[in-house]
DNA sequence: ACTTTGCGTATTTTCGAAAATATGTCTCAT
DNA sequence: ATGAGACATATTTTCGAAAATACGCAAAGT
């Protein structure tokens, strides 16, 4: 073979388009594809080995999630990062996550408690295993995501959960961005444990206050450490 | 020409795909395309005159908005309507709309006040002109949408506004569904005026209570009158 | 009778070429 | 020098055919 063109093969989703969306989402969230980077079809075609229309479908999906922006007739690019966007995102996340948390605590059954406890356990184990900069560890990120997902998983609100997931991705991109510059990872272990205890203890007010403050603090840290790479809001 | 196939032409959007998404959205919201109806490509191709891939892109857009559901490898269909979904939707709308309302009232400037007042004025004029069942009037629906959009337009929250718009469409589909069975349209004129007055008067608590109750009441009415066509939650 | 297997049809999914649109460059008139 | 117009190139957008996959029905096996 003379070219490096890949033949596309599914790793995740059931259709190729959703599979590519998944991979693209990952590259954007981890900032392998940088904010504002223009997503030319020829280039994407080369790295993903799919045709124009399949790529287009994947990009459409990511536009809906706010990770890609489309300028009609002028192509797609990775969504910009700005302080304004970070603030907007943070506000939306707190509003929705607090609501989901409260209702999850109201409705959560035994299985929910188990999901919360076990996902926290896994997170702690990973932190013990790699105490240094676990925040840039892929395994930690997955566990972190799963813990937060478990907390709200009993809310019984598909609509808000879907929005929440997409906002979580957008926020994770900002966290990854700031991780490049942050001297040391903040110790979130205590916060996570307190969150779990408030949730399992059915102390809704406290859990909501904790999650709001958790999101806000993280956002503030991102704003501080990532200000170098973030365009002026 | 032997077939009735249409040649696609843009009426709205800049690209054909977004244009078709717009038209499809309208047909779904107005229930010309019925809940659960399967969206076969051949049929769509005939009525919209676009190719497979263009239609696919439009459908992808609507899936993200929750008006269409995709069963991978088994095509697309109009999203089902259920009582459960209506409740979920209503809850999400109240949460988000109340937040947007409060911040719009905080931040709204002169232009915002003008938008609110003039959009209400237009709505009232239409109601005067067609006092009978204005709720099934296209013009009224557009004005109604614009009034509610105006109220929250100063919130400065692109993320939540985008979610709000998509939820509004989903809710409008339920309203249209119940309008078929509702004996007489509820008189919303008073509620709308009170909403405007509370907003312009910068009475945030009252405006938030009014909008929450407005959404909840509408949803309750939909549930009552549409129970015949809504699948059991 | 009831499930399983295989095959033809219907439908979706993916592809690469062709059309449409934007961008950049060069020329020419002022 | 500067700006407008025209051509050439780069890029996106749309198309219909081809490949992949699901579905229905008939035949065979238990």
pLDDT classification of A66: cutoffs 50, 70, 90: very high
Residue B3 lies in a domain: no
Instruction: Residue B121: give the domain boundaries.
Output: 83-225
pLDDT at B132: 72
Residue B39 host element (H or E): strand B38-39
Same-domain check for residues A90 and A74: no
Boundary residue ending a domain (B28, B51, B78): B78
pLDDT at B189: 80
Residues 6+ apart with CB under 8 A from B230: B81, B82, B83, B86, B177, B223
The residue-averaged pLDDT of A186-213 equals: 93
The residue among B55 and A136 whose pLDDT is bigger is B55
The Cα–Cα gap between B233 and B217 comes to 19
Instruction: Return the minimum-mean-pLDDT range out of B4-8, B64-68, B168-172.
Output: B4-8
Boundary residue ending a domain (A78, A95, A130): A78
Same-domain check for residues B70 and B91: no
The residue-averaged pLDDT of A73-95 equals: 97
pLDDT at A2: 29
pLDDT at A10: 65
Boundary residue ending a domain (B54, B78, B102): B78
pLDDT at A129: 86
The answer to whether residue B12 scores a pLDDT higher than 90 is no
Q: What is the DSSP letter of B79?
A: P
Same-domain check for residues B165 and B219: yes
**Which CATH number characterizes residue A111's domain?**
1.20.120.530
Same-domain check for residues B35 and B135: no
Residue A35 lies in a domain: yes
The Cα–Cα gap between A115 and A149 comes to 9
Note whether B15 contacts A72, CB cutoff 8 Å.
yes
Same-domain check for residues A171 and A195: yes
CA of B35 vs C1' of C8, distance in Å? 32
Residue B1 lies in a domain: no
Chain B contact set for A92 (CB, 8 A): 157, 159-160, 163
pLDDT classification of A3: cutoffs 50, 70, 90: very low
Same-domain check for residues B183 and B209: yes
Same-domain check for residues B57 and B162: no
pLDDT at B163: 98
Instruction: Return the minimum-mean-pLDDT range out of A58-67, B33-42, B122-131.
Output: B122-131
The answer to whether residue B199 scores a pLDDT higher than 70 is yes
The Cα–Cα gap between B113 and A175 comes to 38
Same-domain check for residues A168 and A92: yes
Same-domain check for residues B69 and B92: no
Note whether B40 and B142 are within 8 A (CB). no
Side-chain-side CA neighbours of A119 within 13 Å: the count stands at 23
The residue-averaged pLDDT of A75-92 equals: 97
Chain A contact set for B66 (CB, 8 A): 159, 162
Same-domain check for residues A56 and A96: no
Instruction: Return the minimum-mean-pLDDT range out of A146-160, B8-22, B39-53.
Output: B8-22
In total, how many domains does chain A have?
Answer: 2
pLDDT classification of B5: cutoffs 50, 70, 90: very low
Residue among B26, B3, B23, B27 nearest B12 (CA): B23
pLDDT at A1: 31
Instruction: Return the minimum-mean-pLDDT range out of A72-81, A124-133, B50-59.
Output: A124-133
Residue A194 lies in a domain: yes
Note whether A195 and A210 are within 8 A (CB). yes
Residue B7 lies in a domain: no
Under 8 Å CB pairs connecting chains A and B tally to: 75
- Chain B window 151-180: which residues touch A at a Cβ cutoff of 8 Å? 156-160, 162-163, 167
Nearest Cβ partner for B157 among A13, A53, A92? A92
pLDDT, mean over chain A: 91
pLDDT classification of B6: cutoffs 50, 70, 90: low
Burial grade of B8 (CB within 10 A; 0-12, 13-18, 19 or more):
middle
List, for residues A123-153, the tens digit of each pLDDT value.
999 988 876 777 678 999 999 999 999 999 9
Footprint of strand C on the protein (CB under 7 A): A 8, 15-17, 49-54, 57, 73-74; B 38-42, 52-53, 56, 70, 72-76
Interchain contact B57–A (C-beta under 8 A): yes
CA of B68 vs C1' of C5, distance in Å? 35
* Percent of chain A whose predicted confidence (pLDDT) is above 70: 91
The residue-averaged pLDDT of A69-97 equals: 96
The answer to whether residue B172 scores a pLDDT higher than 50 is yes
Q: Rounded to an integer, what is the distance from CA B18 to the centroid of its chain?
A: 17
Same-domain check for residues A65 and A89: no
The answer to whether residue A217 scores a pLDDT higher than 70 is yes
Residue A107 lies in a domain: yes
pLDDT classification of B4: cutoffs 50, 70, 90: very low
pLDDT at B233: 44
The residue among B57 and A190 whose pLDDT is bigger is B57
Same-domain check for residues B64 and B116: no
Residue B143 lies in a domain: yes
pLDDT at A231: 66
List, for residues B104-141, the tens digit of each pLDDT value.
999 999 999 999 999 999 999 998 887 677 767 899 99
The Cα–Cα gap between A65 and A77 comes to 13
pLDDT at A181: 76
Residue A3 lies in a domain: no
List, for residues B72-115, the tens digit of each pLDDT value.
999 999 999 999 999 999 999 999 999 999 999 999 999 999 99
**Which CATH number characterizes residue A33's domain?**
1.10.10.10
Chain A contact set for B160 (CB, 8 A): 88, 91-92, 95
The residue-averaged pLDDT of A70-78 equals: 95
């Amino acid at each position: 073979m003379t070219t490096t063109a890949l033949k596309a093969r599914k790793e995740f989703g059931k259709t190729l388009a959703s599979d590519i969306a998944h991979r693209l989402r990952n590259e954007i969230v981890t900032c392998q594809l940088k904010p504002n980077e223009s997503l030319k079809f020829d280039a994407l075609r080369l790295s993903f080995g799919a045709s124009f229309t399949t790529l287009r479908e994947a990009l459409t999906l990511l536009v809906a999630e706010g990770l890609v922006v489309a300028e009609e007739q002028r192509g797609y690019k990775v969504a910009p990062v700005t302080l304004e966007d970070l603030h907007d995102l943070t506000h939306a996340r707190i509003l929705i996550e607090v609501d989901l948390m409260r209702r999850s605590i109201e409705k959560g059954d035994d299985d929910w408690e188990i999901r919360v406890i076990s996902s926290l356990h896994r997170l702690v184990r990973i932190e013990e295993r790699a105490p240094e900069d676990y925040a840039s560890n892929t395994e930690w990120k997955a566990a972190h995501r799963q813990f937060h997902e478990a907390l709200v998983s009993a809310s019984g609100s598909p609509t808000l959960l879907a929005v929440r997931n997409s906002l979580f991705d957008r926020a994770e991109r900002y966290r990854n961005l700031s991780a490049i510059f942050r001297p040391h990872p903040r110790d979130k272990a205590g916060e996570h444990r307190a969150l779990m205890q408030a949730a399992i203890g059915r102390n809704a007010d406290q859990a909501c206050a904790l999650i709001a403050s958790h999101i806000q603090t993280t956002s503030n840290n991102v704003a501080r450490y990532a200000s170098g790479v973030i365009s002026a809001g």
